[in-house]
Amino acid sequence: MTADHGPRWLRWPSETSRRRFAFGADYNPEQWPREVWREDVRAMRHAGVNIVSLAIFSWARLQPRADRWTFDWLDEVMDLLHAHGIAVDLATATASPPPWLTARHPEILPVDHDGRTLWPGGRQHWRPTSPIFREHALRLVRAMARRYGSHPALAAWHVSNELGCHNVYDFSEDAATAFRAWLRDRYGTVEELNQAWATAFWSQTYDDWAEILPPRLATSYANPTQQLDFKRFSSDALKDYLRAERDALAELTPEIPVTTNFMVMGETKGMDYADWACEVDFVSNDHYVTTGPQARDELSFSANLTGRLSGGEPWFLMEHSTGAVNWQPVNTPKKPGGLARDSLTHVAYGADAVCFFQWRQSAGGAEKYHSAMVPHAGTDSEVFRSVVDLGATLERLAPVAGTRRRRAPAAIVFDWDSWWASELDSHPTSRLRYRQEALDWYSAFAAAGVRVDVVTSAESFPHYDLLVAPILHVVPRGLADRLGAYAAGGGHLVTTYFSGIVDEHDHVWLGGYPGALRELLGIRIEEFGPLLDGDRVDLDLGVSGTLWSDRIDVTGPDVEVVARYTSGEHAGRPAVTTRRVGTGSASYVSTRLGPEGLGPVLSRFLATGGVRGELPEAVAGSVELAIRTGDDADYWFLINRTDESVTVGDAGEVAGEVLQAPCLASDLTLAPRQVCVLRRAHETPPVS
Ligand code: GLA
């Protein structure tokens, strides 16, 4: 939802105004002969596909030379799709510059940290701050808007593709010039910058803006605040590019909503999406499953956070996969039911569009072994049959489309500044992983059968009875005050090791850790206690910690020691503390307990916060619950997290009309990896 108007959704062609799920894929017809296009639209209609993202990587096909444009093929595809009732999320086609442009202007090519040019051969080989690239890209954007802005198939604009996937950090002279301008805007004077960057250290004091560079390859650790500001600048530079395309589109086609696909997934950390979300008409996200025991929870975590970035409004799952990707070390297919479970988990957390990369699996090119809706084996395949089943399921679930997320009783705070700053070099340990700690807490909530929202630090905390802020490392004074007010007002705050350490300039809050939160937590720590690989510390809760430990001194009134270390340097000393604050509390967990180890600790905090699960206790950990709420009903998504059948118990306990067969309403048994949706009419007005 952009600043000048509220959220907007797809502009469906008029005859299909009822709310329904968008279902489709990236579509790259330029890779195939025309007869395949006709086969495509037939198969799309058979599968229930109602939208495609088109022309994402088509720049070279649309503008083969600087002075030549070839839109005829795209005209034909747009008309063919519209004739078959398939809407188009039309890309601006600027994601990958054509060879003629980079040959003519190599100065648009990114430069990496070590000073190496990133040459053509892949994709997204452009500098976010290059004026020359932007000039050529916006010329294409305007040409697309003028030609297709009134096409009846056009449902949305798709700016570029995954901005920052390969080019978020550019160290070129263009980047240096833009970085200096960004710094001047942020600090005003070189003196203020010197203060913020602590440049008295290692004789780094600047006398003139022209002396300042991006943190390129250096002899030793680069200035940490310079690094942090460069991350902030790089995210802003791409956001500025997004706004340039969006504004060009809005000028020519103001009635068409604009989106771009974020990447809230795994360790993709270069773009602060909490800061970007207001720049688009609706949030779109790409997600691909990771591997390992928390892979499913990571998908849920990412969908959950995306739904909050969208402000609880429906969002667009732009891409995920029907099966294996091709860019992990080993790319495994999905298990039976996995395609549907992944898709419906995104829907459970607010996605009103389920789209894939891509429609037809490529025969050539770097992603020919990446799964698609139509695999190399064609439509007579398990994958395509699963796709058709999913299309039918989404049709049955149409009443859910347009409903909003129902808030959970608890929340996990996710903060990009803390993610960036806590993982800088020259730190107590290089092993710390910010997102992993947040995901561990998410898995612990899932294991406890308790719904939890993943929110950003900009959200209003009082909505939540329990607020967990893992490794909230960067705590400016204002955030510390908000957290204190939350606890004093009855909220129950939990934070962890390496939280509250620095201000927004990455300067340590002095007087003892955790600086900004020391008084609120009623504790004081003089030295960090990072653990070596393989070392563990035991706690008297029967769990053990890795990565980190702290020597805690209790300093405040009303502090209760929840758990003590029973081994390691701090044996006998506090490991987990809770301080009563007003009608609330503030708690501290001083080691990494991991998803299982957090169980006993979380159950303690759930009790303190009066937070309970909404499903029968017996299925806690096996069945994940997410709730969407509409005008007349709630929709309960029961997600089987396991590879076994799970009986949810007497349907009376979770009474509701089963929306999606074949859940057995009588005893509500979920097959392995199955998602069941219950419609529960409102007895009372929905919780806002
Ligand atoms: C991203 C890109 C797609 C494709 C997929 C592969 O989502 O947007 O073009 O590269 O990854 O997983």
pLDDT of 240-278, one tens digit each? 999 999 999 999 999 999 999 999 999 999 999 999 999
Instruction: Tell me the C-alpha distance between 684 and 328, whole Å.
Output: 48
Task: Summarize the confidence of residues 619-640 as an average pLDDT.
Answer: 95
Closest to 271 (Cα-Cα) out of 241, 219, 231, 301:
231
Instruction: Tell me the C-alpha distance between 562 and 606, whole Å.
Output: 13
| The pLDDT value given to residue 682 | 86
- Expressed in angstroms and rounded, the spacing between residue 238 Cα and the centre of ligand 1 is 18
Instruction: Establish whether residue 324 lines the binding site of ligand 1, counting it when its CB lies within 6 angstroms of any ligand atom.
Output: no
Task: Summarize the confidence of residues 533-547 as an average pLDDT.
Answer: 98
**Amino acid at the residue 100:** W
Which atom of ligand 1 is found nearest the CA of 286? 7
| The pLDDT value given to residue 614 | 93
Which atom of ligand 1 is found nearest the CA of 318? 7
| The pLDDT value given to residue 650 | 62
b/e for 200-214, b at 16 or more Cβ within 10 A?
A: eeeeeeeeeeeebbb
Which atom of ligand 1 is found nearest the CA of 57? 9
220 pLDDT band, cuts 50/70/90, is very high
Segment among 265-279, 377-391, 629-643, 660-674 with least mean pLDDT: 660-674
Q: What is the 3-state secondary structure (H, E, C) of 224-284?
A: HHHHHHHHHHHHHHHHHHHHHHHHHHHHHCCCCCEECEECCCCCCCCCCHHHHHHHCCCCE
- Ligand 1 pocket test target in 286, 290, 320, 342 with most atoms within 8 Å of CB: 286
With 50 as the cut, is the pLDDT of residue 599 above it? yes
Domain 619-681: what homologous superfamily? Golgi alpha-mannosidase II (2.60.40.1180)
The angle formed by the CA atoms of residues 605, 606 and 612, to the nearest 5 degrees, is 180
- Expressed in angstroms and rounded, the spacing between residue 358 Cα and the centre of ligand 1 is 8
Given the residues 279, 298, 313, 319, the one annotated as active site: 319
b/e for 326-359, b at 16 or more Cβ within 10 A?
A: eeeeeeeebeebbbbbbbbbbbbbbbbbbbbbbb
* Lateral strand order in the sheet of 22-27: 258-259, 154-158, 87-91, 51-54, 22-27, 351-356, 315-319, 284-286, 261-262
| The pLDDT value given to residue 459 | 87
- Expressed in angstroms and rounded, the spacing between residue 20 Cα and the centre of ligand 1 is 25
Segment among 165-169, 205-209, 380-384, 553-557 with least mean pLDDT: 553-557
Which atom of ligand 1 is found nearest the CA of 325? 12
Instruction: Establish whether residue 57 lines the binding site of ligand 1, counting it when its CB lies within 6 angstroms of any ligand atom.
Output: no
Q: Do the beta carbons of residue 91 and residue 58 sit within 8 Å?
A: yes
Which atom of ligand 1 is found nearest the CA of 161? 8
With 80 as the cut, is the pLDDT of residue 491 above it? yes
In this prediction the pTM is: 0.97
Instruction: Establish whether residue 370 lines the binding site of ligand 1, counting it when its CB lies within 6 angstroms of any ligand atom.
Output: yes
- Expressed in angstroms and rounded, the spacing between residue 119 Cα and the centre of ligand 1 is 20
With 90 as the cut, is the pLDDT of residue 14 above it? no
- For residue 244 the two structure tokens come to 């340039």
Does domain 22-168+236-402 fall under CATH 3.40.50.2300? My reply is no
Instruction: Establish whether residue 325 lines the binding site of ligand 1, counting it when its CB lies within 6 angstroms of any ligand atom.
Output: yes
| The pLDDT value given to residue 511 | 98
| The pLDDT value given to residue 3 | 53
Task: Summarize the confidence of residues 595-616 as an average pLDDT.
Answer: 96
| The pLDDT value given to residue 666 | 58
- For residue 551 the two structure tokens come to 């020597």
| The pLDDT value given to residue 687 | 43
Task: Summarize the confidence of residues 431-454 as an average pLDDT.
Answer: 98
| Residue 459 vs residue 266, higher pLDDT | 266
pLDDT of 502-525, one tens digit each? 999 999 999 999 999 999 999 999
Instruction: Establish whether residue 288 lines the binding site of ligand 1, counting it when its CB lies within 6 angstroms of any ligand atom.
Output: yes
- Name the phi and psi angles at 238, rounded to 5: -70, -35
| The pLDDT value given to residue 660 | 66
pLDDT of 366-414, one tens digit each? 999 999 999 999 999 999 999 999 999 999 999 999 999 999 999 999 9
| The pLDDT value given to residue 13 | 81
- Expressed in angstroms and rounded, the spacing between residue 111 Cα and the centre of ligand 1 is 22
Give the residue, by CA position, lying nearest to ligand 1 atom 12: 325
Cα end-to-end distance, the chain, whole Å: 20
Instruction: Tell me the C-alpha distance between 539 and 69, whole Å.
Output: 68
Instruction: Establish whether residue 162 lines the binding site of ligand 1, counting it when its CB lies within 6 angstroms of any ligand atom.
Output: yes
Q: Do the beta carbons of residue 115 and residue 214 sit within 8 Å?
A: no
Instruction: Establish whether residue 266 lines the binding site of ligand 1, counting it when its CB lies within 6 angstroms of any ligand atom.
Output: no
Instruction: Establish whether residue 285 lines the binding site of ligand 1, counting it when its CB lies within 6 angstroms of any ligand atom.
Output: no
Q: Do the beta carbons of residue 17 and residue 37 sit within 8 Å?
A: no
Say yes or no: do domains 410-609 and 619-681 share a fold: no
Which atom of ligand 1 is found nearest the CA of 162? 8
Residue with tokens 């790409």: 286
Task: Summarize the confidence of residues 127-154 as an average pLDDT.
Answer: 98
How much of the chain exceeds pLDDT 70, in percent? 95
| The pLDDT value given to residue 117 | 98
Give the residue, by CA position, lying nearest to ligand 1 atom 2: 162
| The pLDDT value given to residue 661 | 55
Average pLDDT over the chain reads 95
Give the residue, by CA position, lying nearest to ligand 1 atom 5: 357
- Name the phi and psi angles at 23, rounded to 5: -145, 120
Give the residue, by CA position, lying nearest to ligand 1 atom 3: 357
Kindly give, in sequence order, each residue whose CB lies less than 8 Å from that of residue 291, ignoring residues fewer than 6 positions away: 328, 330, 332
Which atom of ligand 1 is found nearest the CA of 56? 9
Domain coordinates of the chain in residue numbers? Answer: 22-168+236-402, 410-609, 619-681
Instruction: Establish whether residue 367 lines the binding site of ligand 1, counting it when its CB lies within 6 angstroms of any ligand atom.
Output: yes
Answer yes or no: 624 catalytic: no
Does domain 410-609 fall under CATH 3.30.750.200? My reply is no
Instruction: Tell me the C-alpha distance between 686 and 629, whole Å.
Output: 7
> What are 286's strand-pairing partners?
319
Which atom of ligand 1 is found nearest the CA of 327? 12
How much of the chain exceeds pLDDT 90, in percent? 92
Answer yes or no: 255 catalytic: no
Q: Do the beta carbons of residue 462 and residue 485 sit within 8 Å?
A: no
Instruction: Tell me the C-alpha distance between 100 and 106, whole Å.
Output: 10
pLDDT of 580-589, one tens digit each? 999 999 999 9
- Ligand 1 pocket test target in 367, 368, 369, 371 with most atoms within 8 Å of CB: 367
Counting beta carbons within 10 angstroms of the beta carbon of residue 534, is it exposed (0 to 12), middle (13 to 18) or buried (19 or more)? exposed
- Expressed in angstroms and rounded, the spacing between residue 93 Cα and the centre of ligand 1 is 14
Instruction: Tell me the C-alpha distance between 647 and 259, whole Å.
Output: 40
Task: Summarize the confidence of residues 650-660 as an average pLDDT.
Answer: 64
Instruction: Tell me the C-alpha distance between 41 and 60, whole Å.
Output: 24
| The pLDDT value given to residue 482 | 97
Half-sphere exposure of residue 390, counting CA atoms within 13 Å on the CB side?
Answer: 31
- For residue 150 the two structure tokens come to 């009134």
**Is the preceding peptide bond at 662 cis, omega within 30 degrees of 0?**
yes
- Name the phi and psi angles at 53, rounded to 5: -95, 125
Given the residues 162, 279, 298, 459, the one annotated as active site: 162
- Expressed in angstroms and rounded, the spacing between residue 154 Cα and the centre of ligand 1 is 22
| The pLDDT value given to residue 649 | 73
pLDDT of 48-63, one tens digit each? 999 999 999 999 999 9
- Expressed in angstroms and rounded, the spacing between residue 357 Cα and the centre of ligand 1 is 6
Instruction: Tell me the C-alpha distance between 529 and 548, whole Å.
Output: 6
Give the residue, by CA position, lying nearest to ligand 1 atom 9: 357
Q: Do the beta carbons of residue 673 and residue 335 sit within 8 Å?
A: yes
